Chains A and B, each alone.
Chain A
Amino acid sequence: MMTDQTHDFPVTSEAGARLRIEELAPEARFSLRVRPTNAPVLGQALGLDLPGRIGQIAEAQGRKALCLGPDEWLICAPEAARDAIVEAARDAYVAASHSLTEISDREISYAISGPAAQELLSIACPRDLDRLAPGEAVRTVFDSAQVVLWRDGPEAFRLDVWRSFAPHVRALLDIGRAEIDAGL
C-alpha cells in the first residue's frame, strides 16, 4: 500500500563521522531551589561555587552545577556521590533552608557530536545556537518537549530529555540525521 511506503535513506560512509548520537549512562541529578542569599552556604556544602548567571556551569570533583533560574540550579554528579550530596545538603538545611529534589530518573541524556551537530539540533530547537557558548547550558524546548541543552564544545552537545518525551525526541534526531546524511 502507498501509505506503508518508507524511504531507505542511503547511509553514507562518512555518516558516522559527521554526526554521532549516543545515549549516555545514568548519573545522579538533583534540582536545587534556594534563595540567592543562601546559595553560597549550599555551594560550600556541595563543594561547588554555585554560578549566579543563568546558563553558567560550575564544575568541581566531577560534580556540576548549572544555573537554570534566579533561584534554581541543576546538580549533576557521578552516581557514587548521590548519598554524599543528600547528606551534605541535609546538614546545611538549618543554616540555609532549601529544597533538594532527586531527579536522576526523570531524564535521559543524549550526546550529539560532530560537524553537523548544530544543524541537527536546529531542526527542532528555536534558540539561536550560535549564541550558546561552549561551556554553557540552557533549558529550552525541542519540538515542544522541554530539554536542558548543554554545549560542551563547538561541535559537542548534550540533551537532557524527560523520560516520557525521549522516544519522540530520539526519533526526531534519527530522522534528522538520516536527512542530513542523505544531503537533504
Chain B
Amino acid sequence: MLLIHCPYCDETLPELEFAYAGEAHIARPEDPSTMSDEEWRDFLFIRSNPKGPHFERWRHVHGCARFFNAVRDTVSDRFLLTYKAGEPRPDLASLEAAQ
C-alpha cells in the first residue's frame, strides 16, 4: 500500500484514506464560449500522461477531506512531494536534485 503525506493533516497515511483526482494545474478557461471545439476538447480530455514525475491531484477523502497536489513518479509510484492546493507548481529539476 502507498503511504501518502497529507499536507493539511501533516501526517503520512495509508492510501486507503485517499482518492486520486486527475492531473493537477489544469486551469478552467476564463471564457469557454470563445474557444474552438479543438481547444475545448484539449481542456476536457487531453492530458500529459508522462512516464516519470507527474503532477496530480489527490483528495484526503476519508480524513480532512481536502484536495491537494502531489508529484508522483509514474514508473516507481514514489511520491516526490505533496503540497497544498493553490500553491505554485514546484520546480521539477530542484525536486529531482533533492532526491
Interface residues in B49-68 (C-beta closer than 8 Å to A): 62-66
- When the two chains form their complex, are residues A127 and B13 in contact, meaning their CB atoms are under 8 A apart? yes
A68 CB within 8 Å of chain B: yes
- When the two chains form their complex, are residues B64 and A139 in contact, meaning their CB atoms are under 8 A apart? yes
- When the two chains form their complex, are residues A68 and B1 in contact, meaning their CB atoms are under 8 A apart? no
Q: Is chain B's binding surface mostly helix, strand, loop or mixed?
A: loop
Minimum CB–CB distance for A169 against chain B, Å: 14
Known: A54-B64, A70-B66, A139-B62. A126 touches B9 (CB 8 A): no
- Neighbour of A54 across the interface among B9, B14, B17, CB < 8 A: B9
> Which residues on the B side are within 8 Å of A69 (C-beta)?
8, 63-66
Minimum CB–CB distance for B64 against chain A, Å: 4
B16 CB within 8 Å of chain A: yes
- When the two chains form their complex, are residues B17 and A126 in contact, meaning their CB atoms are under 8 A apart? yes
Docked complex Cα distance between A76 and B16 (Å): 27
Chain A, interface size: which category? 10 to 19
User: Number of B residues contacting the other chain (C-beta, 8 Å)?
Assistant: 14
Known: A141-B16, A141-B17. A54 touches B8 (CB 8 A): yes
- When the two chains form their complex, are residues A72 and B63 in contact, meaning their CB atoms are under 8 A apart? no
A57 CB within 8 Å of chain B: no
Known: A54-B9, A55-B9, A70-B8. A126 touches B64 (CB 8 A): no
Q: Which B residue's beta carbon lies closest to that of A67?
A: B64
Interface residues in A67-123 (C-beta closer than 8 Å to B): 68-70, 72
> Which residues on the B side are within 8 Å of A138 (C-beta)?
63
Minimum CB–CB distance for A145 against chain B, Å: 9
> Which residues on the A side are within 8 Å of B10 (C-beta)?
54
A140 CB within 8 Å of chain B: yes
A164 CB within 8 Å of chain B: no
> Which residues on the B side are within 8 Å of A55 (C-beta)?
9
- The proximity string for B residues 12-50 relative to A, scoring 1 for CB distances below 8 Å and 0 otherwise, is 011011000000000000000000000000000000000
- When the two chains form their complex, are residues A72 and B16 in contact, meaning their CB atoms are under 8 A apart? no
- The proximity string for A residues 123-147 relative to B, scoring 1 for CB distances below 8 Å and 0 otherwise, is 0001100010000001111001010
> Which residues on the A side are within 8 Å of B66 (C-beta)?
69-70
> Which residues on the B side are within 8 Å of A70 (C-beta)?
8, 64, 66
Minimum CB–CB distance for B33 against chain A, Å: 32
Binding site for B on A (CB under 8 A): 54-55, 68-70, 72, 126-127, 131, 138-141, 144, 146
Binding site for A on B (CB under 8 A): 1, 8-11, 13-14, 16-17, 62-66
Contacts A54-B8, A54-B64 known; 10 new A-B pairs at CB < 8 A = A54-B10, A69-B66, A70-B64, A70-B66, A72-B65, A126-B17, A127-B13, A127-B17, A140-B63, A141-B62
